[in-house]
């Protein structure tokens, strides 16, 4: 296995509050790594740290061999790391197609063609391309947020709780999309997830955080009941 993102001795602070403690983790190339843990343990903050969006981060973050820890968020995304924030954050007044095109803002080149595979993954979005983002269901908005993140054909896709508050049929479709992106598009996926069944269905590796620390990591097939009971059950 080859490491696509390699994090060493990462610490993060919100003011006086020490949120992430000495995190070491490798995100393996062309796999789906699930970041698990109860509410408030630091999952989102870790993703924001990778993207350059969290304040007061120390430590090393290597992406594809290059240390990106000192780079601004504006420099990181165009290197091929796409981020879908928790809660989707699409533009409700813009059309579906305009929302997808906002994905080009992260680019420094003059891209403007939405790759065909994006609409192939989400046929519903091509049917609804002229509708306003705000008219879509929660699940469709999540699909739209994924589509927007894919327009630059990223190497790594980071998704923060994409299944949160979404109807089961669309959760299942999103699971299929994740598998397709890993197998057919060679993508590396980091999936923050609280729905264990969903994570198990799509994940190759798991990482568990608890109170800002990395507690256990391994192959998804080795995630057993005692680990689940200790770190994940509420
Ligand atoms: N902008 C912020 N300012 C201060 N504290 C924050 C901020 N964002 C998150 N936190 C705190 O950091 C901790 C980790 O939060 P978060 O990364 O959102 O957890 P998770 O995604 O695992 O639910 C929590 O205690 C949360 O209250
Ligand atoms: Mg979160």
- Residue 53 φ/ψ, nearest 5 degrees: -105, -5
Please choose, from the candidates 93, 31, 25, 90, the residue with its C-alpha nearest in 3D space to the C-alpha of residue 60. 25
pLDDT at residue 88 in the model: 81
Cβ atoms < 10 Å from Cβ of 199: 23
Neighbours of ion ligand 2 (CB under 5 A): 43-44, 86
pLDDT at residue 58 in the model: 98
Residue ranges around ligand 1 (CB below 6 Å): 14, 17, 19, 37, 39-45
Q: Report the C-alpha gap between 118 and 188 in whole angstroms.
A: 16
pLDDT along the chain (234 residues), means of 10: 94 97 98 97 98 98 96 93 92 96 80 88 95 96 96 95 94 96 97 95 98 98 95 90
What is 3-231's CATH number, 3.40.980.10, 3.40.50.300, 3.30.750.24, 3.40.1160.10? 3.40.50.300
* Atom number in ligand 1 closest to CA 55: 1
pLDDT at residue 113 in the model: 85
* Atom number in ligand 1 closest to CA 39: 23
* Atom number in ligand 1 closest to CA 161: 21
**Side-chain half-sphere CA neighbours of 191 within 13 A:** 33
- Domains of the chain, by residue range, sit at 3-231
For the whole model, what pTM was predicted? 0.96
Q: Report the C-alpha gap between 198 and 209 in whole angstroms.
A: 18
pLDDT at residue 108 in the model: 66
């Amino acid at each position: 296995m080859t490491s696509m993102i390699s994090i060493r001795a990462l610490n993060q602070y919100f003011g006086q509050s020490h949120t992430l403690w000495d995190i070491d983790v490798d995100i393996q190339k062309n796999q789906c790594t699930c970041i698990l843990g109860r509410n408030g343990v630091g999952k989102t903050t870790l993703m924001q740290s990778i993207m350059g969006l969290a304040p007061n981060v120390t430590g090393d973050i290597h992406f594809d061999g290059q240390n990106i820890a000192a780079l601004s968020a504006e420099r990181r995304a165009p290197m091929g790391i796409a981020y879908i924030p928790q809660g989707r954050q699409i533009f409700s007044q813009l059309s579906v197609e305009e929302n997808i095109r906002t994905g080009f803002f992260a680019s420094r080149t003059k891209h403007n063609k939405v790759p065909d595979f994006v609409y192939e993954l989400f046929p519903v979005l091509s049917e609804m391309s002229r509708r306003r983002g705000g008219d879509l269901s929660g699940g469709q908005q999540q699909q739209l947020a994924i589509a927007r993140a894919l327009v630059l054909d990223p190497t790594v896709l980071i998704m923060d709780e994409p299944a949160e508050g979404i109807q089961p049929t669309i959760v299942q479709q999103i699971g299929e999309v994740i598998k397709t992106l890993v197998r057919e598009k060679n993508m590396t996926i980091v999936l923050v997830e609280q729905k264990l069944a969903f994570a198990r269905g799509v994940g190759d590796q798991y990482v568990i955080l608890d109170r800002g620390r990395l507690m256990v990591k391994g192959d998804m097939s080795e995630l057993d009941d005692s680990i689940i009971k200790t770190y994940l059950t509420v």
